[in-house]
Structure formats: C-alpha cells, structure tokens
C-alpha cells in the first residue's frame, strides 16, 4: 500500500525541503510524486539539462523514507521551445492558436514536439531509470485536460488523413462509409479530406466519429512513445498515468493498455456536493480500465480553486474518500498537493497544509488515515474486488451519442449512472467492461445505449444470454453499425433476434413525463419516463411494462425475451429512478444475484477479498450519525473489537470489518 502526496519542491525554498519531508514522514507517507510540470527547470534552454536540484530533492525525500514517482514534464512545454517551434501550440476548431501561458499547450502530432519529448523523457529516464529511490513514472499529466484532445492544426489534418488511409485503404471505401454523396462531400484526393473545423452547419457524423477516434489515438500514440523510452532505460519502475475519471475524450481502455496500472485524480468537492454514487462509479470504471487495481494519484485534501474557491472538505471527508477509493481497489493514495502554492494559477487549490505551511486539521486527518492504513496494509495485500454484475461502458458509444444525442436530455454517462445507482444503493459491486471484453464471468450484464452494434458484438451478447446470463439493454440500441451508419434492418437491428422485438415507431420525447406501468412477476408499479419512447412490437418477447399516456398508451415499453438459459431485457424508454430500480431488481432476482450487506441503508459497503477472507468497508457519506444492524459477527480492524448487531458510524465515518 502506497500513501503519499504530490509535491513541488521547485515552488519552495530549498531550506524548507527537509521540514516538509519530516512532516510528510510524520504523516505516515511513503511516496511522493514530483516534477510533472518542471520542464523549464529541468531543461532551462535547449539541450542544457539541470537535474541537480531534483537529485537533491529526491535525496531529502528518500532520507525520510519517501519513495519518488517522477512525472514526465510534457504537459508544460517551456517558452523557449514554443518560441522555437510555435507550431507546437494547438489550434481550436476555429483554427485559432491556443497560446502559451497556461498548460497543455501542445499538439501531440507535432513532430518537433515529439522530438523534444523524446529528448527530455530520454534524459530523465537515463538519469533516474536505475535510481533505487525512484519507484515509478507518471506520463505527462492528465492527458487531454482543458479540452486538448481534439486539435485542429495542420499537422493534425495531415495525421488524420494518414490515419484514415490506414483504416480505409481506398478513398472509395471512405466515401462509401461516410456517405459523402450526401451534400456533395465526395473526396477525390486524400489531400482534400478535412478535419472538422468550424463549418456553416453540422459535420458528417461518420467523419466526426472517426475524428474523435483519431484524436484519442493520437494521445495514446503520444503516450506510447514516452513509454517505449521509459521502458528502455528503467528497471523495476512502474509506469502509470493520472486519468480524469469520467473524462470523455480519450478511450481510456486504449490509453491504459500500455500502462502497468492506471491512476486517477479524484476531487469529490469540485462539483458542489460530492455524489457518492458518482464517486463509486468512477472508481469502478477506473478499476475496469485494466481489470486491475489502480491508484488515486491526486486525492483532494483541501478546498479546490483557481479564481473561485470551492467548499472545504468536511472533517472526516478526506479520510472517507480515501477509504472509498481503497474499498474499490485503490492500492495507492496520493494527496494533491502538499502545501498550497503562494503564486501561479492554482493559488487557491489547497493542499494538505495551507500557504503558511503549518499542519492543522486536514494534516491530522491524513496522518490518522495513514496510520490506520499502515496497519491495514498487510491484510489488504493480495485482496481483490469480485463482482457478478458488469456494466458495459464504451467510448465509441459515448462519442457517437455525443455527436448525435438524439434527444437534448440524453447523455451517455448520465444514463449509465442511473443504472449504476440502482446497484450502488443495494451495495452490489459492479465491474465496468468494454465491448470487446469477455462477458462470461458475469451473471448480469447491463449495456445501456448500445447505439452502434457490430455482428460479433451481437453474437457475443447472444452467447452470453444463451448460456444463462441476464442482459439488460435500452432504447437507442442496435440503431447503427460501428461506422455510425444507420442499420437497414428493422430496429433494434443486429439485436432484434436476441431481444425478440421490433420497433416500428418511436418518439423522441419532449413532453414533461410519459406514464409507465410495469408488471414484474405480478407486482405492478406505476411511474413515468422521459427522453425517448420506443413503441415495441413483440416478435417473441413478453411485455414487462407499457405506456399509460400519449398515442402509444398500452403499447409495450419494457420487454423480456427468454433465450436459451438466459434472458434479454429491453427498456425502450428512460424510466424514472424508482422504475429503473424495479427493473434492475427483477434482473437481479432472475439472475440469482443477492443484494449486498446493508442494502438501501444509505451506508455504502464494498468488499475486498482473498481466499476465505473478506474485508468489509462501511462508509457513511453523510454529516449525520448512522446505525445499522449487521448480520453476523465481525472484527473491527480499526478498533480491534468484536462487532455484532448494531454498528454505529459517526458523520463521514468509516468502519473496516473482517468477517469472523
Ligand atoms: C489537476 C491536475 C493538477 C492540478 C489540479 C488542480 O487534477 O492534474 O496538476 O492542476 O488539477 O487544478
Ligand atoms: Zn494539432
């Protein structure tokens, strides 16, 4: 278990480093991330490298038992480099340059930038690749932050054409797939092909989807060249990157594939009040990226803020967020940042300690958490998170629906979250998987908005159901092929046989709510829906629910098809929260998945296990005391006492139990 902090020695007088390191050690830290924005200090002018200061900082940190992770500094190309190659600067969709003066001001396809990247990464890797006090590397910082995935410069235009040539082979194939006959967009030479800069009206959806995929690939490739260099010069040092959770513009499955493990940056109080289901879902998605444990490389440790200061973590919240991460598979927690900076854009992005450098309540909370985790670490070693339910989360679907949301209320991640929340409230763990992952180990597969389907995906979903799985999918599924072209089959296209339905008519819903009546195993629930209404004709499926208003009153809205040993459930509309939960409960019951410990209690429960040992984390995300009746006998690993019957959690309180 690693536990530490992000530190910027270059922001502080060297005399202070030792004091900082002592305080870090006293906080039970054992790891520190450094240098990810320090290019100007590491290479003050072209080819002149100064690593002495970093050597000294690492020496001080190591002296106090703190191992080091080095971030490659490529998110902040220095001024001399930009002045030498102004084309490094990215361009927005208007073609305007996004200038020097903040960060992430580079285009990943720019050859000069790639050349300079290779140099600085290579120098760092050669210098620190065998350093016993350096345990790993972070590539760049938050790839794509500040909307920098999609660049519209000339270099990207050329790279996009090359990418398309590799994909399509012939221009004819590209023209056909995109349907460029529409609006006379036919290309007769590769050099004519555009990137989607600002136009009079909307771009071709085939082009847009390819461009989104291309732009994501360019970040993946850019990271790959850094990783290749790092691997060449390092031994026994891991390589990770700090992802941004639900950030939608990079296919994190692809970005993660080249890493040893993924990390992510978690700022729960950034978006107003923290939403526990959203946080849990993000941790689960991060674990799903590589089907492996992950780190939190930046865990919020104070009020966030650049120009505006966000609310302060409540006493207990930093500890709570730490345990939530650990409970869902984090094996490293690194707080952002150590001491709040006195200058620069992030003057108000508070760290563990304030500008004045004095340890106070947030420091003490972190320190306490660290001492608890030190004790728990040997037990956590080798434990894993195991689940029977998976949610399919695909960047391709997300992008296609971002290009054409179909209805203004439709947002891919929001719909995913609506389903996720049902499991979360029952304390049922969920894995996130990609469209080409193996589904077979799961009992329930929830795959909302399977907007684009290719034949093999349809076949594997059918196989999953045949062999006894319960599949739940929704409206706007089977609509398109993988190139973003609408199917010529009756909807839901490739999925029609599996679902046993045909959709001949649908209504993108602009009214307030449409009435819904579900009947699940004889139990009737009334409620409503919005966003989209498929009017379903059965082709073998049975109706589980109907509309109770609009011209489609009493038409099927939710159906179920029994196929082989399993079931394929189709939800043709966006049900309200209660009805969504009813359908999920039904799917769980049919699949034989039981609800988790303390389901619906408002206490979040997550489990890490190894062989017969189960470590149960109880988390209270509220500012109210919570009690719950626990079935069975447990040992509290925090207080070394036996717990049975009533368990009490203080506001933002945490309990870690081992089944007795
Ligand atoms: C991100 C970055 C950090 C820092 C924080 C606060 O998470 O990775 O470098 O900028 O945001 O803005
Ligand atoms: Zn570019």
Atom of ligand 1 nearest to the CA of 103: 10
Nearest-ligand number for the alpha carbon of 112: 2
Q: Is the peptide bond before 575 cis (omega within 30 degrees of 0)?
A: no
Residue 578: is its pLDDT beyond 80?
yes
457-487 per-position pLDDT tens digit: 999 999 999 999 999 999 999 999 999 999 9
Segments of the chain assigned to CATH 3.20.20.80: 2-150+219-380
From the options 3.40.50.720, 3.40.50.880, 2.40.30.10, 3.40.50.2300, give the CATH code of 389-591. Answer: 3.40.50.880
At 619 the pLDDT is: 98
Residue range(s) of every CATH 3.40.50.880 domain in the chain: 389-591
Q: What is the pLDDT of residue 202?
A: 96
Ligand 1 atom closest to 346 (CA): 12
Q: What pLDDT score was predicted for residue 100?
A: 98
pLDDT reported for residue 43: 98
**Rounded distance from Cα 387 to ligand 2 centre (Å):** 41
Reduced to 3 states (helix: H, G, I; strand: E, B; else coil), residue 584 is helix
Q: How far is the CA of 349 from the centre of ligand 1 (A)?
A: 8
pLDDT in tens, 224-235: 999 999 999 999
In angstroms, what is the span from residue 579 Cα to ligand 1's centroid? Answer: 39
Any atom of ligand 1 within 6 Å of the Cβ of 142: yes
Positive/negative CA dihedral, 123, 129, 130, 134 = positive
Q: Contact at 8 Å (CB) between 580 and 482?
A: no
pLDDT tens by residue, 173-195:
999 999 999 999 999 999 999 99
**Structure tokens that stand for 551 in this block:** 């011209």
Residues 72, 77, 79, 82, CA torsion sign? positive
Q: Which of 336, 337, 352 to mutate to test the pocket of ligand 1 (most atoms within 8 A of CB)?
A: 336
Cβ neighbours of 22 (radius 10 Å):
13
398 falls in which pLDDT band (50, 70, 90)? very high
What's the pLDDT at 660? Answer: 82
- CATH fold of 2-150+219-380, please? TIM Barrel (3.20.20)
**What pLDDT score does 104 carry?**
98
Find the radius of gyration of the CA atoms of the chain. Answer: 26
Residue 611: pLDDT band (50, 70, 90) is very high
Separation CA 474–CA 517 (nearest Å): 17
**222 C-beta neighbours (distance < 10 Å), count:** 23
The overall average pLDDT reported for the chain is: 97
State mean pLDDT over 646-654.
Answer: 96
Please give the distance, rounded to the nearest whole angstrom, from the Cα atom of residue 235 to the centre of ligand 1.
28
Cβ distance 583 to 558 under 8 Å?
yes
> Is 577's pLDDT higher than 80?
yes
Q: What pLDDT score does 271 carry?
A: 72
- Mean pLDDT of all residues in 594-610: 97
pLDDT > 90: what percent of the chain? 99
Q: 371-392 pLDDT, tens per residue?
A: 999 999 999 999 999 999 999 9
**How remote is the CA of residue 336 from the centroid of ligand 1, in Å?**
8
The average pLDDT across 47-67 equals 98
Query: What CA–CA distance (Å, rounded) separates 36 from 463?
Result: 46
Is pLDDT of 596 > 90? Answer: yes
| pLDDT one-digit tens code per residue, 124-152 | 999 999 999 999 999 999 999 999 999 99
Nearest-atom index, ligand 1, CA of 141: 8
Q: What is the pLDDT of residue 617?
A: 98
Q: Is 140 a pocket residue for ligand 1 (Cβ < 6 Å)?
A: no
Q: Is 142 labeled as catalytic in the residue annotation?
A: yes
The DSSP element (H or E) to which 418 belongs, if any, is helix 412-425
Ligand having the closest approach to the CA of 270: 1
Closest ligand (CA of 75): 1
Is pLDDT of 272 > 80? no
Task: Tell me whether residue 555 is one of the annotated catalytic residues.
Answer: no
Q: Is 364 helix (H, G, I), strand (E, B) or coil?
A: helix
Could you say which DSSP state residue 271 is in?
Answer: G
Give the pLDDT band of residue 306 (cuts 50, 70, 90). Answer: very high
Which residue is closest in CA terms to ligand 1's atom 7?
265
Ligand 2 centroid from CA 92, angstroms:
9
pLDDT at 137: 99
- DSSP assignment of 146-213 equals TTTSS--SHHHHHHHHHHHHHHHSSHHHHHHHHTTTGGG---SSGGGPPP----SSPPPHHHHHHHHH
Q: Where in 443-540 does DSSP place strands (E)?
A: 444-447, 470-474, 501-508, 514-520, 523-538
603-641: b or e for each residue (b if 16 or more CB lie within 10 Å)? bbbbbbeeeeebbbbbbbbeeeebebebeeebeebeeee
Q: What percent of the chain has pLDDT over 70?
A: 100
CA distances 646 to 327, 433, 623, 629, Å, are 21, 36, 19, 4
The residue with tokens 């995935």 is: 149
The candidate with the shortest Cα–Cα distance to 145, out of 81, 93, 90, 213, is 90
Mean pLDDT for 349-356 is 98
Ligand nearest to the CA of 97: 2
Ligand 1 atom 11: residue of nearest CA = 265
Residue nearest to atom 10 of ligand 1 (CA): 346
| Whether residue 141 has its Cβ less than 6 Å from ligand 1 | yes
Atom of ligand 1 nearest to the CA of 75: 9
- Other Cβ atoms less than 10 A from the Cβ of 440: the count is 12
Q: Which residues contact 585 (CB under 8 A, 6 or more apart)?
A: 422, 520
Task: Check pocket membership of 265 for ligand 1, CB cut-off 6 A.
Answer: yes
Q: Which residue has the higher pLDDT, 356 or 660?
A: 356
For residue 270, the model assigns a pLDDT of 85
User: How many other CB atoms are found less than 10 A from the CB of residue 382?
Assistant: 11
Per-residue confidence at 273, pLDDT binned at 50, 70, 90?
Answer: confident
Which one of the listed residues 249, 298, 372, 418 is annotated catalytic? Answer: 298
Query: Higher model confidence: residue 272 or residue 75?
Result: 75
Q: For residue 222, give the nearest of 148, 129, 117, 145 by alpha carbon.
A: 117
């Amino acid at each position: 278990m690693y536990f530490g902090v992000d530190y910027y020695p270059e922001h502080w007088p060297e005399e202070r480093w030792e004091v900082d390191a002592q305080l870090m050690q006293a906080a039970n830290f054992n790891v520190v991330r450094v240098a990810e924005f320090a290019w100007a200090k590491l290479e003050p002018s072209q080819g002149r490298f100064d690593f002495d200061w970093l050597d000294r900082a690492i020496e001080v940190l190591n002296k106090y038992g703190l191992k080091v992770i080095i971030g490659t500094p490529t998110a902040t190309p220095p001024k001399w480099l930009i002045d030498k190659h102004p084309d490094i600067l990215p361009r927005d969709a208007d073609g305007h340059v996004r200038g020097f003066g903040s960060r992430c001001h580079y285009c990943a396809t720019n050859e000069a930038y790639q050349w300079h990247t290779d140099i600085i990464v290579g120098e760092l890797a050669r210098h620190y690749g065998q350093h016993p006090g350096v345990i790993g590397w972070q590539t760049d910082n938050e790839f794509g932050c500040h909307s920098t995935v999609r660049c519209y410069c000339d270099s990207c235009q050329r790279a996009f054409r090359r990418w398309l040539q590799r994909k399509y082979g012939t221009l004819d194939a590209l023209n056909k797939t995109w349907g460029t006959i529409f609006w006379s967009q036919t290309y007769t030479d590769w050099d004519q092909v555009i990137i989607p800069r600002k136009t009079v009206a909307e771009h071709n959806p085939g082009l847009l989807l390819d461009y989104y995929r291309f732009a994501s690939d360019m970040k993946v490739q850019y990271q790959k060249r850094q990783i290749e260099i790092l691997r060449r010069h390092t031994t026994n040092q891991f390589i990770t990157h700090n992802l941004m959770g639900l950030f939608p513009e990079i296919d994190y499955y692809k970005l993660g594939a080249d890493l040893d493990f993924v990390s992510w940056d978690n700022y729960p109080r950034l978006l107003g009040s923290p939403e526990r289901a959203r946080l849990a879902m993000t941790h689960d998605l991060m674990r799903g990226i590589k089907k492996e444990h992950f780190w939190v490389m930046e865990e919020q440790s104070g009020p966030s803020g650049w120009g505006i200061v966000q609310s302060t973590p409540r006493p207990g919240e930093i500890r709570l967020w730490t345990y939530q991460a650990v409970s869902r598979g984090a094996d490293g927690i690194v707080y952002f940042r150590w001491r709040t900076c006195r200058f620069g854009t992030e003057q108000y992005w508070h760290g563990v300690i304030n500008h004045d450098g004095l340890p106070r309540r947030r420091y003490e909370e972190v320190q306490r958490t660290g001492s608890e985790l030190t004790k728990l670490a040997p037990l956590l070693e080798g434990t894993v998170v195991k689940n029977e339910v998976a949610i399919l989360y695909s960047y391709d679907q997300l992008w296609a629906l971002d290009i054409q949301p179909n209805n203004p209320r439709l947002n891919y991640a929001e719909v995913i979250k609506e389903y996720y929340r049902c499991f979360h409230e029952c304390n049922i763990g969920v894995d996130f998987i990609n469209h080409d992952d193996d589904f077979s180990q799961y009992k329930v597969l929830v795959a909302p908005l399977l907007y684009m389907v290719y034949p093999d995906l349809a076949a594997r979903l059918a196989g999953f159901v045949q062999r006894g799985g319960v599949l739940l999918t929704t409206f706007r599924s089977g609509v398109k092929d993988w190139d973003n072209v609408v199917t010529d089959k009756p909807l839901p296209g490739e999925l029609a046989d599996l679902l046993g339905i045909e959709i001949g008519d649908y209504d993108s819903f602009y009214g307030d709510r449409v009435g819904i009546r579900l009947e699940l195993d004889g139990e009737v629930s009334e409620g409503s829906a919005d966003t989209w209404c498929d009017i379903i004709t059965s082709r073998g499926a049975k109706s589980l629910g109907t509309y109770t208003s609009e011209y489609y009153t009493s038409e099927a809205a939710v159906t179920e098809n029994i196929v082989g040993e399993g079931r394929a459930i189709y939800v043709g509309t966006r049900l309200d929260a209660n009805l969504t939960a009813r359908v999920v409960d039904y799917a769980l019951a049919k699949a034989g998945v039981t609800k988790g410990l303390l389901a619906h209690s408002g206490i979040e429960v997550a489990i890490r296990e190894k062989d017969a040992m189960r470590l149960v984390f109880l988390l209270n995300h509220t500012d109210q005391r919570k009690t719950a009746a626990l079935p069975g006998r447990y040992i509290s690993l925090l207080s070394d006492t036996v717990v049975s019957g009533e368990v009490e959690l203080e506001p933002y309180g945490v309990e870690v139990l081992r089944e007795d």
